[in-house]
Structures are given as C-alpha cells and as structure tokens.
Amino acid sequence: MDLSTSKSVVIVGAGQAAAQACASLRLFGFEGGITLIGEEAALPYQRPPLSKAYMKGELAEERLYFKPEAWYQDQNIDTVLSVRATRIDRSAQTVELEHGGSVSYDALIIATGSRPRALPVEGADLDGVFDLRDLADVERIRPRMIAGQKLVIVGAGYIGLEAAAVARQLDLEVTVLEMESRVLSRVTSPVMSGFFEAEHTRQGVTVRTEARLASLGGADGKVTTAVLADGTELAADIVLVGIGILPNVELAEDAGIACSNGILTDRDARTNDPRVFAAGDCAARPLVHYGRQGRLESVHNAIEQGKLAAAAIMGKPRPPEDCPWFWSDQYDLKLQIAGLSQDYDETVVRGDVDARKFAVFYLQNGKLIAVDAINSPPEFLASKKLIMTGARLAPETLSDTSQSMKEIAAAAV
Amino acid sequence: MAKIIYVDHEGTERAIEATNGESVMETAIKNSIPGIDADCGGACACATCHVYVDDAFMDKVGKPEDMEQSMLDFAENVQANSRLSCQISVSDELDGLRVTTPESQH
C-alpha cells in the first residue's frame, strides 16, 4: 500500500519511538500533517536518565527533551498532550480522544509504550510508594531522596539497581528486595548477577534475594514498613517498585489488531492492518538475528522501529536492523549489552572481574549471541558486529586477552 | 554562548549559536544537524555521534578519556581528530569550533 502521499499521519504515544518517527517522516520528505498524541504533559523526552543522572540531579530537565518546542512548530507537527487516545476506528480511519473529538489518519503509528507492573500487595497505594517510569514519577520521588532516609526497592532489575546506585550516592539507606535467588535473574548470567550483587553490597546496599514482599504497612496513609513473607519487617520511608513493565496493547487489541505479548509487526513495523504501524516497547517485532518474534524494551528498538515505520510509510528502502543493544550505568560502572542472551548454552568470561573491567560472552552451539561488557567498549562494539554476522568463536579465543577484540573480530568466520 | 560550525560530509556548513554546558552532540540534535545520530542520548554508550574536530581546536577540546577512546577505536573512518561529540562540552573557549560529520555513523 502506497502511503507516501498520505495527508495525515497520526502517532499515538509521545515517547522515543514517536519522536523518532516524527523526525524520520520529515527527513524522508513527508509533507502531510503529523499529529502526535501523548498522555503525558511533556513533549517527547529521554527516559534512560530518569533512573540515572536526572534522578541524581546532575542533568537539567531541558536536556531530557529530544527537540525543543519550536522544532515541532517549525516541522508543522501538531502536538496533542495530556490527552489519552481512547479508541481506534479502523474502518473510519480515526483515533478518538478522551473529552471527545477525533483525528483522521491515512497512516497510524501506535507507540503507546509500556507501563509498570503494579505491585500486587496490600499497601501498594500508600503515600511514599512509587513507580519509576515517567518524568512525573521522578518529580515526586526526588524531593524525598534525602540522606539518611530508608529506601526499599522492590525488584532487582536494571531500573531497581540503577535507582539503588543513585540513592546510595545520595546517602540513603537502601535495601533491594528480589524474589529470585539472584539479582538481574531474568536478564543476565549468574556471573554477572554475582558481580552486581557484590558491587551493590560493597557500596552499602542491603541486597535480599529470595525475599518475597507480603505487604506494605503505614501510618496516617504513609508507608512505614515493608513486610516480607517470612515475617521480617523492614522500616521504609520510601518504596520504589521496579518489577517489570507491561506493553500498552489495549488500544490496538480493542481495534482487532493482532497482538501477542505486544502488537505484532512485520520487519517494517507494520501490523496486520496495512495502514497501522507499531513501534517501541508496545510492539513485538521479528528479531531477525534470532529467528523469532519478540518485544524489546530499549532505546535502540524505539529508534529503529520509529525509522522503520517512517520508511515504510514513505516507500523508502528498509533502514538497517541492528543487533539489539542496551546499556546501564551504576556507580562508575558502564554496562553495555549487545544481543539477546536467552537460550545460551555456554558463557565465556574475558578480562578481570575484580578489576571491574570484563565481559561475559554468551554462545549458543558455538555461535556468539550476546555479550555483557563492564567498562569494556571494545568487547561490546566488536560483539555487536560479530553477532550480526552469525560468527562462531572458540571460547579460548574469546577469553584470550593477549589478542585484542579487533584481532579476534578480524579472524572470526 | 559559542558559535559552533557543523560541516557535513559534502561540505555544507551550518552555524549554530550553542548554549554553554550543553554538548556539541546535543546542540546538533536540537538543531536537526544531519550526520549525527546520538542514539544513546549522550551516555557515551553507542559511538553514533562521531565528528572530526578542526585542527585549530584540537588543543581546546582536549583529549578523549579512556572510555571514549576505546569507543572511537571501533567507529568507522576514524582519524587523529576524531571525537564523540557527546563528550565535548560547549564553552566560550570553543567559540568558532568547526566539526565535520562523517558520511555515516554506522
């Protein structure tokens, strides 16, 4: 379907994927109207710093925004903010808005993102209990991040651990609760989990694994304790919840667009309706380097799918599909991840764990599928390319630090 | 305030009044300068904001730190004057800085 002469492209959602789609549509020469509909009051901004430099107070708010307000005017992009889209009518090609009214589209990009999984315990609604997802959350949390306050973080995923690092640097008393037997259990190997747990412990965080939160207790509506399933009571002034996110698929699902843990798209970010695209956290896309469909919660994915959707609408060649990549900053550690490590059958450590400069490679049938690199950009960048070429590497080669990653990459087949 | 001149790989120049304290990368992104992707938003995580610094300013912008240097080692078409623009902070001293963007960041 040729959509390049569309009069109107509507984008539901105003996060990174949406911002990229706007920029790419104009870059590819789209001259029709663009309407950006966002639930939040803010123009599109970067989320990663919310649990890092911005939370710590090291980054001014204006530096979070991808583009200044004037850019949207210059580019003739209509921004409809603090408004929820309530329904997609695919036969009428309209998006209905809360408080009434609707917007017509020739092409629609659904970039509705994701929302934090709600804490399923009593007391989750007490004052002092926070999610960490958007700018407004951080505005509420930051004034309470005062030295000496007791912070309990529920969930030892990346968001939880990044927040723990910030809180320790601000001198709060921090406890991290994790249900599983190790931190980051869903996303990394035992070696990496062990490293992060030791690092946080060394920095003064109390990490409690196999700890199930039973309830939150409070006084005068404000949280005061976290009660564990084994009866342990922990004093808490603030509770941060980081137990995963859920894709916002309801708008698509209600409109009869195919979904399965995410809005299903093809390689061009197109859904089963040729006029409707999905991009970012809400979409489940073909993971071309892994031969399966999946959802990625990352900056790389948001940018790439924003570009893919814009290119498909404009009939441009498909932009490159990069190896998935991620990063996390905790204390002075930079973790860079390339690839998806699920289903690995072998790990190889390169470098010195104690020196806090090492990488863990993940292999599947001898093929490199992912790397977690701590303060090691060469391991990250070389692996990103090697993963895309389906390179097979011997474990003894990967662990041999007498060879540089450049040399290893050049010799790989 | 400092004026930063961005030159694309075809030689087209764009002069921008930059804000002190923001990076050469951020200034480029906010002003839609082509040739800089900056996927990670300035976290020194992705090496997609590679630029060539005009020789006259090499001393003023200083040398890359280890992390940046090892990222640069893997960028395409690296030269002695290559830098990641997210790691160059705008100041009065850099008024008139010329940076050239590569043909591609990937």
Q: If chain A, 413 residues long, is cut into consecutive pieces of 10 residues, what is the mean pLDDT of each piece?
A: 94 98 96 97 96 94 93 96 98 96 98 97 98 96 97 98 98 98 96 98 98 97 98 98 97 98 98 98 98 96 97 97 96 96 97 96 97 96 95 96 95 82
Please give the Cα distance from A226 to A57 (Å, whole number): 27
- What range does the domain containing A372 cover? 332-411
Confidence (pLDDT) at A1: 86
Contact B43 A329 (CB under 8 A): yes
Confidence (pLDDT) at A84: 97
ipTM above 0.85, yes or no: yes
Confidence (pLDDT) at B39: 87
What is the number of alpha carbons within 13 Å of residue B106 lying toward its C-beta? 12
Q: Does B65 touch chain A (CB under 8 A)?
A: no
Instruction: State which residues of chain B have pLDDT below 70.
Output: none
Q: Does B17 touch chain A (CB under 8 A)?
A: no
Contact B45 A336 (CB under 8 A): yes
Cβ-contact A251, A88 below 8 angstroms = yes
Residue A343 lies in a domain: yes
The structural domain count of chain A equals: 3
Domain boundary among the residues A217, A241, A265 is at: A241
CA distance A409 to chain B (A): 11
Considering only CB atoms, which chain B residues are within 8 Å of A71?
30, 32
**CA R_g for chain A:** 22
Strand order in the sheet with A107-110: A77-80, A33-37, A8-12, A107-110, A276-278
Q: Specify the CATH number for the domain of residue A25.
A: 3.50.50.60
CA-based angle A226:A229:A235, to the nearest 5? 20
Rounded to the nearest angstrom, the gap between the alpha carbon of residue A7 and the centroid of all alpha carbons in its chain is: 32
CA distance A47 to chain B (A): 10
Contact A378 B70 (CB under 8 A): yes
Residue A318 lies in a domain: no
Cβ-contact A60, A66 below 8 angstroms = no
Rounded to the nearest angstrom, the gap between the alpha carbon of residue A405 and the centroid of all alpha carbons in its chain is: 28
Other CB atoms within 10 Å distance of the CB of residue B58: 13
What is the number of alpha carbons within 13 Å of residue A88 lying toward its C-beta? 25
CA-based angle A229:A234:A236, to the nearest 5? 125
Please give the Cα distance from A94 to A91 (Å, whole number): 8
All structural domains of chain B with their residue ranges: 2-100
Residue A60 lies in a domain: yes
Confidence (pLDDT) at B43: 83
Cβ-contact B20, B39 below 8 angstroms = no
- Indicate if A85 and A196 belong to the same structural domain: no
Residue A196 lies in a domain: yes
Considering only CB atoms, which chain B residues are within 8 Å of A379?
none
Rounded to the nearest angstrom, the gap between the alpha carbon of residue B99 and the centroid of all alpha carbons in its chain is: 6
Inter-axis angle of helices A299-313 and A16-27, to 10 degrees? 40
Cα torsion at A56, A58, A64, A68 (round to 10°)?
Answer: 150
Three-class DSSP labels, A193-244:
HHHHHHHHHHCCCEEECCCCEEEEEEECCEEEEEEECCCCEEECCEEEECCC
Q: Does domain B2-100 have CATH number 3.10.20.30?
A: yes
- Indicate if A102 and A135 belong to the same structural domain: no
* Residue A107 in tokens: 């092409």
Distances (CA, A) of A313 to A19, A34, A336: 16, 12, 32
Find the closest chain B residue to A53 by CA distance. Answer: B43
Residue A322 lies in a domain: no
Q: Phi and psi at residue B69, in whole multiples of 5°?
A: -60, -40
Confidence (pLDDT) at A306: 98
Find the closest chain B residue to A319 by CA distance. Answer: B106
Where would I find the H helices in B55-100? 58-61, 66-72
- Nearest in space to A392 (alpha carbons), one of A411, A372, A412: A412
